[in-house]
Structure 1
């Protein structure tokens, strides 16, 4: 083991011990707990170099050292092994998420699961409409002069609208409208679908043109209306377990989490469903989040539908948390793809 590798092993030992004990770590503890095969004096020298490089620091009242944001960053960047979830954890994830009945339930369950697995605050963003594609449009005649339109997207979102027509339709008329809508909507992203629907009245048979214009107007409102991006948060109580982890103020962190804009920005960075993005302490743009680490990932198979992740103190179990975020995102993507 060369000097660089040995120093990294010392840093890794300090991260592991500090995360598990919350106590600053001394050279004696490293020699006793970690089989590095070197003397206490060598470890002390290595710690002096790590401190000079800004990777560890000495809290005022202690002889031990703690990792800095820069130290955690090096540790995370050199994580060759992310602790995989155990078989039991994987089974629990599948069983828990497979029981979900609809999109809202998938979102709620994902947040609860992430918060339990990581013991941090979990955040899941609802699938964003802009990235959704129309899977199906159903037309149901409620009365001869009243239709219900049901629009289903690939992210599991279902929108229903009732349309009063002002004229009576036959079953054949309804079937024709259903065919027209299916041809111009199915498989199209929402923005393209709204353009196609706007062109429909021009292609409709003359006797149905008024009805198709009314239906198209209602559908366009549904397709281009963007309600506020929705987030589900869970496990905020987990932050209060160790108030000492937030030297700034825990209250400002909690307030920032309630400001959905801050959290959406954090999740927006996560566009790759294969990779967990880790932002540590000072790397967070929002000042209120500078005492935290944010782990985020995009979820969805093929298309990224939204983001999810966890927020916690910089002193967190990175390998375990990264594995949990990755696994839950993968299962959620698969579940939504299968709906």
Structure 2
């Protein structure tokens, strides 16, 4: 059982080690923190923390550094999160204001968060399986090319250019738009995908398709791909280069982290299993991530709301990270993102 002062000593060790990257000794704690006790007393407290495997000496006769277990206890006993400065809050507002659609909003979100924290920033797209397709548009670009635009009621926008077998006139575009709209507009993404699949199957059974049927087939293949992508979980990330600058914080290779960033599936599984507190915040630290091959990394996340669907935004970095600041930044960005998406939804 760790005493109250023992927790305070652990907090001092974590804070000083994160700041300096140097092992922390009892004299440094006495000099920098107002405990009102001798260095000998602090050494006794540190010995008890070491017995609990909360701190460890990386070298003989050195100071101590936190273990993964120590970081976990530190995070679990955070009484309050360090508030963001007015400059930091202004930076969030400046980055996110003026966003045009969901993709733009989330892109700005990860870039804002990586600037605030210096870590790899992650945002999970909300699930669009239950979203409804609110609009389908076709734009003739000339040169036998058509721009296909899909919009959902959650703000997701898809745009794809499709080559057509022949040039189309305005009447052709109108007919194709109407036939596609009947299949997907007003339906959920899942229902729309089923309707498109059925239409494509029916098209294969027609021996002599009309000219516009060939074009419609090409367009529906693209729509099917886009609707399927809407249904899949995916992440948007920024700041991967920060890992190279922090490579000394990893005893092994940073390759597992780079692989997880590239493949996304691992991070999606990890974030899906993290348990949030009452404020929607969660942290998974060091060896807690061993099953995902990320035992030298920590992930901090916050929940945000997207028109009734919840998703997560967070940061990924080494276990030696500034947890109070990162948690505060994630919480602030998640709250602002929720508010922005709510405003965007009510304005439509």
Deviation string, structure 1 residues 46-93 (Cα, Å, up to 9, x no partner): 111111011111112452111110110011011120112122211221
Q: 1:117: which partner in 2?
A: 116
Q: Which residue of 1 aligns with 2:321?
A: 316
Query: Quick one: which of 273, 278, 300 aligns to 1:269?
Result: 273
Aligned to 2:244, which of 224, 240, 256?
240
Q: Does 1:255 align with 2:254?
A: no
* Cα root mean square deviation, aligned: 4.1
1:198 Cα deviation (Å)? 9.3
> Does 2:291 align with 1:292?
no
- How far 1:160 sits from its partner (Å)? 6.8
Inter-CA distance 161–306: structure 2 relative to 1 (3 Å threshold): farther
Q: Distance in 2 between matches of 1:103 and 1:198?
A: 26
Distance of aligned partners of 1:119 and 1:62 in 2 relative to their CA distance in 1, 3 Å threshold: farther
The Cα offsets for residues 194-224 of structure 1, whole Å up to 9 and x where unpaired, read as 5689999xxxxxxxxx99xx79977983675
- TM-score, normalised to structure 1, is 0.77
Matches within 5 A, 1:88-107: 88-107=87-106
For 1:181 and 1:64, the matched residues in 2 are separated by 70
Structure 2 residue 12 is the aligned partner of structure 1 residue 13: yes
Change (3 A) 1:149 1:220: closer
CA distance in 2, matches of 1:103, 1:331: 14
Q: Is the 8 A contact 1:271 1:298 kept in 2?
A: no
Q: How does 1:54-203 map to 2 (within 5 A)?
A: 54-136=53-135, 150-153=149-152, 154-158=154-158, 181=182, 185-186=185-186, 189-192=188-191
In the alignment, the residues of structure 1 paired with residue 161 and residue 246 of structure 2 have an alpha-carbon distance, to the nearest angstrom, of 48
Closer, same or farther in 2 for the Cα pair 1:220/1:113, shift >3 Å? closer
SS across alignment from 2:53: coil
Provide the residue aligned with 2:46 in structure 1: 47
- C-alpha distance in structure 2 between counterparts of 1:169 and 1:312, whole Å: 53
Task: Give 1:120 deviation, angstroms.
Answer: 0.9
> Quick one: distance in 2 between partners of 1:161 and 1:122?
30
Cα contact 1:194–1:224 (8 A) shared by 2 = yes
Alpha-carbon distance change, 133 to 270 in structure 1, aligned in 2, over 3 angstroms: farther
User: How far has the Cα of 1:289 moved from its partner?
Assistant: 1.1
CA distance in 2, matches of 1:45, 1:310: 35
Looking at structure 1, the residues matched to 133 and 310 of structure 2 have their Cα atoms a distance apart, in angstroms, of: 13
**CA offset at residue 190 of structure 1?**
2.3
Query: Distance between the aligned counterparts of 1:139 and 1:77, measured in 2?
Result: 53
CA distance in 2, matches of 1:238, 1:148: 37
Deviates more, 1:114-123 or 1:100-109: 100-109
More off after superposition, 95-104 vs 48-57: 95-104
Shift of 1:280: 0.4
CA deviation map 1:220-253 (0-9, x unaligned): 8367523665433222222223333101222333
Q: 5+ unaligned residues in a row in structure 1: which ranges?
A: 201-209
Partner of 1:206: none
The counterpart of 1:281, out of the listed 280, 286, 300, is 286
Question: Could you list the runs of 5+ residues in structure 2 that have no partner in the other structure?
Answer: 200-209
